[in-house]
């Protein structure tokens, strides 16, 4: 039996994340280590699985609990990850047939949880897209929003107290949208107009972003392998993160303390001098 490499990779990554790993770091590290064996299609599918399951975990577990006679806490981690991957495909992805999601999940279980093959098969055959639709009928507002948008109870309560029902749902819904691929132009090497020309030459579509020197790019695969990225003409950065610099508005020779450095900043001091 040959396992689907993309699904098996997704399983391994999600298992490692569950063991207290950062999703983006674990994903990047794994893909880099297997890049020669993975196609662009595989990498895109793995990214979809990892970020999708991570984003919708609370909702997925709600649907799992509905169909399982075993408490989630009692299900082995490997089997739990397999079920989450299967449920995500069935409920949230339209292009994957349910039969494929079920069969590939069962195949994974034969290797990573062979004693639970019948259990996994039975659960996933019960799952339907309507399981998600039924969450909208929950009468308790806090529980409904939490389970529909995969948001923790405490966060929903906080948002409701500050913004009310309609705004809270808008915020939760927006938080689960897939972000656009956003790049920030390196103005030390080029200008936004020059970069636009270079992108057009490579038939890369883009659209204007809200912030100065930012662009949204579309229909590009393997951006990290693009020559413009490797040569430092731009970096990949979300507008939300980029806006911080504009808000801080650092002056020449000021020292800025970045108290929220992510794990990726392994060798950088938290205190850095910005020159305008």
Query: Domain holding 36: CATH number?
Result: 1.10.940.10
- Give this prediction's pTM: 0.78
pLDDT at site 222: 67
The domain that contains 237 carries what CATH number?
3.30.70.1170
Q: How far apart are the C-alpha atoms of 242 and 179, rounded to whole Å?
A: 14
Q: What pLDDT band is residue 1 in, cutting at 50, 70 and 90? A: low
Q: Please tell me whether residues 186 and 72 are part of one structural domain.
A: no
pLDDT at residue 73 in the model:
93
| Domain co-membership, 143 together with 104 | no
Worst-scoring range by mean pLDDT, 65-79, 126-140, 224-238? 224-238
What average pLDDT does the segment 145-151 reach?
97
Q: Give the mean model confidence (pLDDT) for residues 110-138.
A: 96
Q: Which domain holds residue 88?
A: 5-133
User: Which pair of structure tokens corresponds to residue 219?
Assistant: 């229909």
Residue 265, in any domain of the structure:
no
Q: Are residues 30 and 121 located together in one domain of the fold?
A: yes
Number of domains making up the chain: 3
pLDDT at 181: 86
């Amino acid at each position: 039996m040959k396992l689907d490499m993309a699904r098996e990779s997704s399983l391994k990554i999600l298992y490692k994340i569950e063991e207290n790993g950062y999703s983006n770091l674990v994903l990047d590290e794994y893909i880099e280590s297997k890049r020669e064996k993975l196609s662009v299609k595989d990498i895109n599918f793995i990214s979809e699985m990892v970020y999708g399951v991570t984003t919708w975990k609370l909702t997925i577990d709600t649907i799992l609990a509905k169909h399982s006679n075993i408490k989630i806490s009692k299900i082995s981690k490997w089997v739990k990850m397999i079920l989450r991957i299967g449920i995500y495909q069935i409920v949230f992805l339209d292009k994957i047939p349910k039969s494929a999601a079920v069969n590939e999940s069962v195949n994974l279980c034969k290797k990573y949880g062979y004693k639970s093959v019948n259990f996994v098969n039975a659960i996933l055959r019960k799952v339907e897209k309507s399981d998600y639709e039924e969450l909208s009928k929950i009468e308790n507002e806090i529980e409904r929003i939490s389970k529909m948008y995969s948001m923790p109870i405490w966060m929903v309560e906080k948002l409701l107290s500050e913004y009310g029902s309609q705004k809270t749902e808008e915020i939760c819904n927006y938080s689960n949208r897939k972000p656009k691929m956003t790049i920030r132009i390196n103005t030390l090497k080029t200008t936004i107009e020059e970069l636009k020309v270079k992108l057009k030459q490579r038939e890369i579509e883009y659209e204007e972003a809200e912030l100065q020197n930012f662009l949204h790019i579309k229909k590009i695969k393997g951006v990290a392998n693009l020559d413009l990225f490797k040569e430092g003409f731009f970096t990949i950065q979300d507008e939300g993160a980029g806006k911080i610099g504009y808000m801080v508005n650092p002056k020449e020779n000021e020292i800025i303390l970045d108290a929220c450095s992510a794990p990726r900043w392994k060798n950088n001091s938290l205190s850095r001098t910005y020159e305008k």
